Amino acid sequence: MKTWILAVVIMIGITVHAQTKKEHKEALTPEQRVELRVKKLTLALDLTNKQQKEMKVLLLSKETERQQVIEKLKSENKAKKELTADERFAIKNNALDKKIEMKEEMKKILTKEQIEKLDKISERQYHITKKKIGELKKNNRS
């Protein structure tokens, strides 16, 4: 009996410890995220110094907009639990508008070859993410 109780206590302790590890991870600042993103883009697309500076300005403005939207949604979600269909549509529509705007602005900065390369990278990343989400959903059902 004592061994069963001890085993249960140990399992609970391990579970609690594993769950708290995720909470201690500190989030990067918007500037840090932009810096890392620009460096990754530089490695992938061979950006010039001028392009790096322009991308940094563009990404930083988009990142601050993104943070404001996230904060707004968090505050709204605390007030109510479910979004209506119209609200979800408006959020998704706005996000797609922002993506289109971002792509247009990136076209002004990058060369045609860099844009094609970025599109291939984005396509590959999209499929990888889609696959991971599918696996997570599949594992959650089990």
- Please give the average per-residue pLDDT across 11-40, as a whole number: 77
Per-residue tokens: 88:
């979800």
User: CA-to-CA distance for 85 and 62, rounded, in angstroms?
Assistant: 26
In this prediction, residue 34 has a pLDDT band, given cuts at 50, 70 and 90, of: very high
- Long-range contacts of 35-43, Cβ-Cβ distance < 8 Å, separation of 24 or more: 41/118
To 10 degrees, the CA torsion angle through 55, 58, 62, 67?
80
Q: Is residue 141 part of a domain?
A: no
d(CA 72, CA 61): 17
- Domain range enclosing 113: 24-135
Write out pLDDT tens, residues 41-77: 999 999 999 999 999 999 999 999 888 888 887 887 7
Domain-located, residue 14: no
Q: 61: part of which helix (H) or strand (E)? A: helix 49-79
**Between residues 85 and 17, the one the model is more confident about:** 85
* C-alpha span between 9 and 14 (Å, rounded): 9
Please report where in the chains the tokens 């932009």 appear, as a residue: 34
Mean model confidence pLDDT for the chain: 84
Inside any domain, residue 17: no
What end-to-end distance do the CA atoms of the chain give, in Å?
31
Q: Looking at residue 114, what is its pLDDT?
A: 93
Is the distance from CB of 55 to CB of 33 less than 8 angstroms?
no
Residue 120 lies in a domain: yes
Q: Look at residue 1 and tell me if it is in a domain.
A: no
Q: Residue 54: inside a domain, yes or no?
A: yes
pLDDT at 41: 92
Q: How many domains does the structure of the chain reveal? A: 1
How much is the pTM?
A: 0.68
Assess contact for 102 and 62: CB atoms under 8 A. yes
Q: Inform me whether the pLDDT recorded for 109 exceeds 60.
A: yes
